[in-house]
């Protein structure tokens, strides 16, 4: 099959998803014309010379092989997706809010197909696009695997909180609630991997302090950026319970990967979380309502993109969920229902569904 793919190939979440899908095309011995969005950065990946050669070949030959009559898959935000390398572009986008703007709807309509990573988002797009599809992401078994390493010898139960620090993910609210209940209790610890490359380091540290009411807690750690996936794998394995209370999510990669590794979880029952988290594999917290997403940094009110609200939660219900997750860890540290997700959701399935849509 002759087709093209335009996508980021780098260390951020969208780049990591792109790389995982590209690896599946590589394993299928396909040779798409690849057009990278921005600079290529494979520094987070485990080295694979054969894959790298294939990738470079597909990129270097794209300019001489590609025709606009070929279907093209674009993995990107709605912003910037009006442009296309093909007469028939399929856009795989990761919309995270609840109110697509007129501009976003216009861009979506100018793509032959729309693929979303959540059924919640697909339901929104069904209102204005005749060919929208839900394609779930998968477990990255190339970079992530369960380890038997003992990380702490004092019997503590460790919570992990990950993702780019921002309002949409409810990070500040989670930290505030957690330290009020568990702060300075040596039986529990909170490991925060919240590096945000779009925020200056000084401001980021200030945000951490603000989330802890200007205090220091001996059992709360803010980790520096982990550039390599093998280090991030170590981090995910070091926790017992992952916290996923984001109010608007395209998938929730750190939390999802953690469950696949057998970790327990406290998950907000909303948006894309509903596609992979349930009461058997996670402690589910019902949203208490919605709040506007605007933070004047990543989301600004009144512009043409990223308008709307995110789900929020009751702090007492969140803490009750944490206590229930602790009981699950004490009963069995391995979340067997979580591990099953790695078998149900694979990037092979993701790639197969993408190819089916491109052939339509």
pLDDT, tens digit, for every residue of 63-100? Answer: 999 999 999 999 999 999 999 999 999 999 999 999 99
d(C-alpha 314, C-alpha 234), whole Å: 31
pLDDT, tens digit, 9 for 90 and up, residues 308-335: 999 999 999 999 999 999 999 999 999 9
pLDDT at residue 279, as a whole number: 98
pLDDT at 172: 98
Fold of 4-138+346-359: Rossmann fold (3.40.50)
Q: What is the mean pLDDT of residues 146-151?
A: 92
d(CA 335, CA 312): 26
Give the pairing of strands 220-222 and 241-244.
unpaired
- Neighbour tally for 352: CB within 10 Å: 13
pLDDT at 148: 87
Q: Which residue has the tokens 């001489």?
A: 64
Give the per-residue pLDDT at 179: 98
CA distances from 130 to 39, 93, 123, 136, 176 (A): 34, 16, 11, 19, 43
C-alpha closest to that of 192 among 145, 239, 155: 239
Listed in sequence order, the residues at least 6 apart from 326 whose beta carbon sits closer than 8 Å to its beta carbon are: 157, 188, 241
Question: What does each C-alpha distance from 80 to 95, 108, 285 come to in angstroms?
Answer: 13, 11, 35
For 179, other C-beta atoms within 10 Å of its C-beta total 19
Summarize the confidence of residues 147-173 as an average pLDDT. 96
The answer to whether residue 342 scores a pLDDT higher than 90 is: yes
Instruction: With cut-offs at 50, 70 and 90, classify the pLDDT of residue 264.
Output: very high
DSSP code at position 106: H
Percent of the chain's residues with pLDDT above 70: 100
How far apart are alpha carbons 19 and 38 in whole angstroms?
14
Give residues with Cβ within 8 angstroms of 308, minimum separation 6: 97, 98, 99, 292, 293
How many CA atoms lie less than 13 Å away from 325 in the CB half-sphere?
A: 30
> Average pLDDT in the 115-119 region?
97
Q: Report the distance separating Cα 287 and Cα 276, nearest Å.
A: 17
Which residues, other chains included, contact 138 with Cβ-Cβ below 8 Å and sequence gap of 6+? 20, 345, 346, 347, 348, 349, 350
Tokens of residue 343, six digits: 């078998």
> Nearest to residue 310, comparing CAs of 47, 13, 98?
98
For 79, other C-beta atoms within 10 Å of its C-beta total 13
Nearest Cα to 209, choosing from 247, 246, 172, 235? 172
pLDDT bin (cut points 50, 70, 90) of residue 197 is confident
Mean pLDDT over 191-220 rounds to: 95
Q: Residue 208 and residue 220: Cα distance in Å, rounded?
A: 10
pLDDT at 1: 83
The ranges of the chain annotated as CATH 3.40.50.2000 are 4-138+346-359, 157-344
Burial letters for 92-117: b for 16+ Cβ neighbours within 10 Å, e otherwise? bbbbbbbebbeebbebbeebbbbbbb
Question: pTM, whole model, 2 decimals?
Answer: 0.96
| Other CB atoms within 10 A of residue 217 CB | 17
What value does the mean pLDDT take over residues 183-193?
98
On average, the pLDDT of the chain sits at 97
Query: Can you tell me whether residue 75 is helix, strand or coil?
Result: strand
Residue 137's pLDDT band (cuts 50, 70, 90): very high
Specify the CATH number of the domain 157-344: 3.40.50.2000
Q: What is the C-alpha to C-alpha distance for residues 189 and 185, in angstroms, rounded to an integer? A: 8
pLDDT of residue 198: 87
Mean pLDDT (whole number) for 136-152: 96
Which pair of tokens denotes residue 80?
């910037």
Supply 354's token pair: 């993408």
Q: What is the DSSP letter of 223?
A: P
């Amino acid at each position: 099959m002759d087709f093209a793919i335009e996508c980021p190939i780098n260390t951020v979440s969208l780049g990591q998803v792109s790389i995982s899908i590209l690896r599946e095309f590589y394993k299928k011995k396909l040779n798409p014309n690849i057009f990278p969005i921005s600079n290529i950065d494979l520094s987070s990946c485990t080295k694979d010379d054969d894959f790298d050669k294939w990738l470079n070949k597909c990129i270097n030959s794209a300019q001489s092989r590609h025709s606009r009559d070929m279907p093209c898959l674009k993995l990107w935000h709605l912003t910037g997706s009006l442009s296309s390398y093909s007469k028939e572009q399929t856009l795989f986008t990761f919309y995270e809010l609840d109110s697509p703007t007129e501009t976003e709807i216009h861009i979506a309509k100018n793509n032959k197909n729309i693929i979303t990573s959540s059924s919640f988002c697909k339901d929104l797009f069904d209102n204005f696009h005749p060919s929208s599809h839900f394609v779930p992401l998968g477990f990255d078994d190339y970079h992530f695997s369960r380890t038997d390493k003992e990380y702490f010898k004092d019997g503590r139960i460790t919570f992990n909180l990950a993702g780019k620090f921002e309002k949409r993910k409810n990070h500040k609210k989670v930290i505030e609630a957690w330290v009020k209940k568990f702060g300075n209790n040596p039986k529990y610890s909170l490991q925060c991997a919240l590096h945000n490359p779009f925020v200056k380091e000084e401001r980021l540290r200030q945000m951490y302090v603000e989330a802890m009411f200007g205090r220091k807690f001996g059992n709360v750690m803010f980790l520096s950026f982990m550039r390599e996936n093998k280090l991030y794998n170590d981090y995910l394995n070091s926790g017992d319970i992952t916290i996923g209370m984001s109010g608007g999510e395209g998938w929730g990669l750190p939390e999802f990967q953690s469950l696949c590794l057998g970790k327990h979880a406290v998950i907000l029952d909303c948006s894309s979380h509903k596609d992979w988290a349930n009461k058997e594999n996670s402690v589910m917290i019902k949203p208490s309502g919605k709040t506007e997403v605007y933070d004047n940094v990543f989301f600004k009110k009144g512009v043409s993109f990223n308008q709307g609200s995110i789900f929020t939660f009751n702090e007492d219900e969140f803490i009750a969920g944490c206590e229930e997750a602790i009981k699950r860890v004490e009963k069995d540290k391995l979340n067997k229902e979580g591990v099953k997700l790695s078998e149900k959701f694979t990037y092979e399935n993701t790639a197969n569904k993408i190819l089916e849509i491109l052939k339509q």
